[in-house]
């Protein structure tokens, strides 16, 4: 078994062996990390030339502007309105189902009690 695993590993090391299925998960190579950790951005899209507290404030402002822009969009407003309407309708239907089950349970309760008392 160990020999077979070693042979398979050697085949896969050379690439995809003939007749083998291609890997289904696509991988992404993001490159090598920066050699100098001080060059790494702490906040996406904010330059490292800013002081940490300045970079945080800039990043928060960018996120806040993005969020307000998304919510102020007419298409987003329409989507949220329709989503709330759909949720209300789903809740109404589930309440109807619960009420029906409770009603049928309460109607059949005397018959079930009589049947179990007779046994």
Per-residue pLDDT tens digits for 77-107: 899 999 999 999 999 999 999 998 888 888 7
Mean of all residue pLDDT scores within the chain: 83
DSSP reduced 3-state for 21: coil
Helix (DSSP H) and strand (DSSP E) numbers for the chain? 3, 0
Confidence (pTM) = 0.40
37-70 per-residue burial string, b: 16 or more CB within 10 A, e: under 16? eeeeeebeebeeeeeeeebeeebeeeeeeeeeee
d(CA 22, CA 16): 7
- The parts of the chain modelled with pLDDT lower than 70 are 1-3, 23, 118-119
State residue 36's pLDDT score: 82
């Amino acid at each position: 078994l160990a020999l077979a695993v070693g042979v398979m590993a050697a085949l896969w090391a050379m690439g995809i062996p003939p007749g083998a299925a291609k890997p289904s998960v696509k991988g992404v190579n993001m490159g090598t990390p920066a050699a100098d950790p001080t060059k790494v951005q702490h906040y996406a899209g904010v330059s490292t030339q800013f002081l940490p507290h300045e970079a945080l404030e800039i990043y928060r402002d960018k996120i806040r502007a993005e969020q307000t822009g998304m919510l102020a969009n007419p298409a987003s407003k329409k989507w949220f309105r329709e989503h709330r309407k759909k949720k209300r309708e789903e809740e109404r239907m589930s309440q109807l189902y619960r009420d029906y089950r409770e009603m049928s349970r309460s109607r059949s309760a005397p018959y079930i009690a009589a049947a179990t008392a007779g046994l």
